[in-house]
Structure 1
Amino acid sequence: MARRKRSTKASANAVVSRAYLSPTLVLLAFDWPGGEGHDDFLGFAIKRDPGFQGEKTSWLPNRLTFSGPAKTDSPSNESPIQKFMWWDARIDDADRGRSFVYTVIPVIGAPGSLTLLEDDAAKVKVTLPEAVVGSIGTYFNRAVVSSQAFVREFGRKPTGDKLKRALAWLANGLEKVIPEFLDTTRPIDGAIYHLTDEEWVIPALARRTVHTSIVYDNTTKDAGTNDPAVKKLTNVTFSPRKRTGIMHDKFLVRGGAPRTLATLAGSANFTTEGLTTQANVLHTFRSPELAALYRERQQVLATDPPVSKIVGLAGWSAPISIDGGQVRVFFPPEPPSVRESLDAIVRVVEKASDSVLFCLFAPTDAALRRALFSVGDAGKMMFGLVNSITEPKPGAPDNAGTVAATEIYHRSRDNKDVYSHDLFPQGGKPAGFWWEVAKLPGKAGKFPVYIHHKFVVIDAETDHPTIYTGSANMSGNSLWHNDENLIEIKGNTKLARTYLAEFLRLYEHYRARAQFQNRPHRPGDTFALAKNAGWATKAFTKGSPEWKSRHAMVGEDG
């Protein structure tokens, strides 16, 4: 049973805490300056007010105890959080707009004899954002089939109604935003790489009775992929795009001349797996100026011009003010050897004052990769998440892809700040955990894609963040061969912190799995809480990724 230590004297070593909010989760970052001097520092207890399911207060849960995994979640006042950040993922749609107070309390002592130092506690009050804040809607899916929460709720091979509920849980709002965007009597124009989702998107398009025009990819590489939708949706005007590398855009525009109204764009393909099992984000922008740019681009692509005829159109748009930030868009491909879009990202990354996060399918551009890694090498917070990391094979061809794969592999092993999709496999899981699968029956798509995001966020935790997002993989193909859209958003602090919260949700999830798989372990090995302050050693080791994030996430200089 934990004891609470309280006095009337304020502590000079109080916890410092900060919240990062998404419509579907709260990320709490915290530091305890006094922790380094305590050999018996065992973590943090976190209390939420109001609590879960109508309770006045609840302790955020921990899956781990001092003896190993809990059969059911254990409250953090009994099983302290041994990290310097934690999530409240028990957020329902009805919680959006509600306020909560979180109290973060350092815990010292020994297992079975814990002391909660309430004099050193920090309180953080938050109000959960709606999916649409101001003129921008933000929708990150969950996309984690390989999770304990998914296995507990849906099993490994859900079918029927359970499968439908599992897909909606994974989509986390993506299944709603596209049909809602299409549910209008105004014209819709779009450019869609893959259009195969029969769960939500194709039925929503089939319901439309007014002008709907879609450019779709019909290059040799993807010939036939979209044919069933084209044949079925006789109410839609389709324009095949053939004379390009691939038509890789994924956007819709609502409203036509003389007044466009809104845009939907992001990384998600309009496929069931793109909305559910592949990690993706979509935005809606209520901006006539931005929508006009996207509609103009759609009309260019609808004529199927060769790449040589449109590279001269490439360039950053003039900045558009949206919600206090500045938004620009770039439509590749660019002329050969020109790198205006990617070099803009490289320059901002090189000037990062505090941090860089990247979540990319495969960062194959060498200049961008060097810039990203140099931020971490300079002692700043740098974390990366990619689709896959594999050990280099002798004799592999010397091209951009294999060079990138080799560098990322060594970075993940040496610096431990870049990770990829991973899971607890059957026969290789920690004791007390369920084994996990990577995909759903019949919903895997052509290729094993789990991290499909295409974003880089610079200085997310500061007052001057920059976000790059959209359809472009930030590669040679996206620069010079493909139809793409790349969005730059500067100065929108709320949106940047949402990106940070959602990124770290995925990053920490996969990092735990990768670390277990990469370390030597025997049958029966598992995770358990440390019984002394050893769990915090890396976080107090100057220069380590844990040390950087401990300071950066709460706004400390270090």
Structure 2
Amino acid sequence: MISIKAYANCDHSYVVWVADKPIDKCLGFALYRLPAGESTPQVVETFVGPETDTKVPAGTSRPSTVWPIQKFMWSDYLVDTHSDVRYQVVAMCGDDFDSMKPGVKSPWSNTVSLVSPPGAVIQAYFNRGVVSTQWVARQLQSNKKSLKDLVDPPTGKSNKVRDFLGGELKRALLNLLDSQCRAGAHIYASLFELSDPEVLPAIEKFGQRAHVILSDGTHKAPAKKAVGKKKAKARAAPKKNGGPFDENAEARSALRAAHVEVHDRMVGGNHFSHHKFIVFTNPMSTTEPVAVWTGSTNLTYGGICTQANNGVFIRDAAIAQRFLTQWKELVKVGNGYPPELAKFDASAQSQPVGGGKVTAWFAPNPMIGPKPKKGNGNKNGDYADLKYARSLIQNAQEGVLFLVFNPGFRGTLLNDILDLLNNSSKNKKLYIHGVANQDPTGGPDKSPLIFVHRNKLERSDAAAEDNIVLPAAVNAPSSAKAKDKAAAIALQKWVKQVDNYWQQESGGLGMVRVHSKVIVVDPLGKHPVIITGSHNLGPKASSQNDDNMVIIENDGDAAAQYAVNIITIYNQYRWRFQQVLAAKNHETLNQWNGLLAPWKSQSSYFSGDKAKELKFWT
């Protein structure tokens, strides 16, 4: 007998199935999808054939009845993103792929929707900001343009690659701005960065109905790089008074030229004015906030297109009012961080929303408990927002999934997740899975990439060169060749072996691949929790930044949507990470070259960590 469960978010679906025992002579599974309103099932296509098929052109796909799925889960990226759909799997059995026939099958799964209901109180959106992929590699080759040229076109323009990478997040945000602008609403935004060629003009269209607090960004001037015989221009100039570099100078000028009300927040030092929120008012009562957009997405071409990010739209007047109140407080304090600001943020706003609860925390907030002793590793101490979130993580009953960017090295929510691995009873019970993209220059742990794979911690080599260990292109850059010729040769040899299928991939634009800040606790359980927002989930954000942390409880639909996004981003990067790290450590690379007959690894899904993973999802 086979049981099956399906999950989905706005981008794609994720299907998991489990059999009660190994299936005799099974060579994999055919997967069928049935969109709502249709009577004829569609056979899901796959892209990997038998290892004996060595002359298949790159990009070839076949029905899964021909090229079956040799695992018990599948991400369906080819499904119509504006549909309701259900799934069925059928075991394909035989001695070889030419003679296999259908065997035992599952019932049809639950129906999942790839569309947020128009009136949903909480709507989650995700981009496809993963540039180290074969699809992007082929697009770059066919367009004969750089990744930067495609994701950062002239103002107001877009293209196929940009639309694909921005995904439903870009579409939803632009549609929201456009519809509310046409309706006559006001917006109140606090933004860390603003330069996206589509989002900036969308905000400009509000004119005097847009009220924007605009930070100076990272307040560090970009390094000038040689371009042929010329020097690349910096995006803006440092302040005349010798203050921090204004990353948003061009956007600031454009907004003021469009008669937008702009409030400068030039914080400098160790502070970041790090929000990415937009409050929307009732068009018929423009002082009445009705909804808010927040999440991890900076409004730049990188945030929208080349980093993995999330956005969440909350239709609740009380939560929107709290964000607006925070906006007014930030306007009042100007460029400073007076004690009154932290005191103002000392408590959260909790609100019943739909069938669940939303709690909004704001930073900076006051340190709680004793001041940390010198040398204990966490100079920032503990904070109420972290303590609240920590209690939810520690109370996990089924599992924790996460995508984290740069939380810090001590006292963070990532540390709390890793502590679960060291608790034998928790580790045995929970399914823990996720990836952290850390800045290796900021602390004692020089690992820029931290994975937890089915409860096992994996770190990038502390001494490794960043371009090798970051989850980027599967190829050896020149800097890697100079530092470790053996590793570079091993990796290039592997790339050559799969060259019939493989195009050289883009390494991205900067070190940031996973920029989402999201932790999901028990997403499929009785008390699902989503922790997200602009907050990097560590004490530095709580103590020194303008940030928000939004905690959504008991919204199972939204939690499942975030879970699907996390597992997809994780799977995309870990495989590439394994290959480059194996090369760096002079270990054997994954030599899997296609589907195998017989499928010997089927048995591995009936015990150990793979069985635990299937149990979590089904």
Structure 1 residue runs without a partner (length 5+): 1-13, 391-396
Return the match for 1:167 from 151, 162, 166: 162
**CA distance in structure 2 between the partners assigned to 1:537 and 1:190 by the alignment:** 53
Aligned 8 A contact 1:250 1:267 in 2: yes
Report the CA distance between 1:309 and its aligned residue.
2.7
Aligned 8 A contact 1:431 1:525 in 2: no
Is 2:167 the counterpart of 1:99? no
Summarize deviations over 1:174-205 as a string: whole Å, max 9, x none. Answer: 3333333333212211100001112x111112
Identity of aligned residues (%): 22
Paired position in structure 2 for 1:329: 360
Paired position in structure 2 for 1:482: 545
SS at match of 1:405: coil
**CA distance in structure 1 between the partners assigned to 2:590 and 2:601 by the alignment:** 21
SS at match of 2:359: strand
Aligned 8 A contact 2:471 2:513 in 1: yes
Is 2:602 the counterpart of 1:536? yes
Summarize deviations over 1:357-391 as a string: whole Å, max 9, x none. Answer: 0101134354433431344551221111122698x
SS at match of 1:214: strand
Report the CA distance between 1:39 and its aligned residue.
6.2
Is 2:132 the counterpart of 1:146? yes
**CA distance in structure 1 between the partners assigned to 2:323 and 2:590 by the alignment:** 55
| Matched ranges for 1:150-549 at <5 A | 150-155=136-141, 157-158=144-145, 164-183=159-178, 184=181, 185-198=184-197, 200-218=198-216, 220-221=219-220, 223-234=245-256, 235-243=259-267, 245-255=271-281, 258-303=287-332, 304=334, 305-336=336-367, 337-367=381-411, 368-376=413-421, 378-379=427-428, 380-387=430-437, 401-403=443-445, 405=447, 408=450, 415=456, 421-425=471-475, 427=492, 428-429=494-495, 430-438=498-506, 444=509, 447-519=510-582, 525-542=591-608, 544=609, 546-549=610-613
Summarize deviations over 1:75-126 as a string: whole Å, max 9, x none. Answer: 2122221222102111334xx2x333311122333323323223x4231142
Structure 2 residue runs without a partner (length 5+): 221-243, 368-380, 461-469, 477-491
Paired position in structure 2 for 1:4: none
Aligned 8 A contact 2:435 2:449 in 1: no
Report the CA distance between 1:439 and its aligned residue.
5.1
Distance change in 2, residues 1:321/1:193 (3 Å)? same
**CA distance in structure 2 between the partners assigned to 1:196 and 1:168 by the alignment:** 17
Aligned 8 A contact 2:297 2:311 in 1: yes
Aligned 8 A contact 2:322 2:349 in 1: no
**CA distance in structure 2 between the partners assigned to 1:168 and 1:189 by the alignment:** 26
**One-letter amino acid matched to 1:19:** A
SS at match of 2:306: coil
Report the CA distance between 1:59 and its aligned residue.
1.8
Aligned 8 A contact 1:385 1:418 in 2: no
Paired position in structure 2 for 1:76: 64
Report the CA distance between 1:315 and its aligned residue.
3.5
**CA distance in structure 2 between the partners assigned to 1:407 and 1:163 by the alignment:** 32
**One-letter amino acid matched to 1:179:** L
Report the CA distance between 1:509 and its aligned residue.
1.4
**CA distance in structure 2 between the partners assigned to 1:467 and 1:61 by the alignment:** 32
Aligned 8 A contact 1:423 1:514 in 2: no
Summarize deviations over 1:301-327 as a string: whole Å, max 9, x none. Answer: 112242433111224434212221100
SS at match of 2:47: strand
- CA RMSD in angstroms comes to 3.1
Summarize deviations over 1:281-300 as a string: whole Å, max 9, x none. Answer: 11111111111000110111
**CA distance in structure 2 between the partners assigned to 1:523 and 1:28 by the alignment:** 28
**One-letter amino acid matched to 1:306:** Y
SS at match of 1:155: helix
Paired position in structure 2 for 1:27: 14
**One-letter amino acid matched to 1:371:** D
**CA distance in structure 2 between the partners assigned to 1:216 and 1:167 by the alignment:** 25
Return the match for 1:123 from 89, 95, 108: 108
SS at match of 2:27: strand
Distance change in 2, residues 1:333/1:374 (3 Å)? same
**One-letter amino acid matched to 2:416:** A
Aligned 8 A contact 1:131 1:139 in 2: no
Paired position in structure 2 for 1:394: none
**One-letter amino acid matched to 1:547:** A
Report the CA distance between 1:20 and its aligned residue.
0.8
Distance change in 2, residues 1:50/1:414 (3 Å)? closer
Distance change in 2, residues 1:116/1:461 (3 Å)? same
**One-letter amino acid matched to 1:465:** P
Summarize deviations over 1:470-529 as a string: whole Å, max 9, x none. Answer: 001112321211000000000000000001111111111112222333446889945312
Report the CA distance between 1:407 and its aligned residue.
9.6
**CA distance in structure 2 between the partners assigned to 1:524 and 1:329 by the alignment:** 44
**CA distance in structure 1 between the partners assigned to 2:531 and 2:512 by the alignment:** 21
Is 2:73 the counterpart of 1:89? no
Report the CA distance between 1:231 and its aligned residue.
1.0
Summarize deviations over 1:243-284 as a string: whole Å, max 9, x none. Answer: 460100001111276421111111000101110011111111
**CA distance in structure 2 between the partners assigned to 1:318 and 1:301 by the alignment:** 17
SS at match of 1:172: helix
**One-letter amino acid matched to 1:423:** A
**CA distance in structure 1 between the partners assigned to 2:612 and 2:454 by the alignment:** 18
**CA distance in structure 1 between the partners assigned to 2:160 and 2:514 by the alignment:** 22
Aligned 8 A contact 2:12 2:114 in 1: no
Aligned 8 A contact 2:70 2:595 in 1: yes
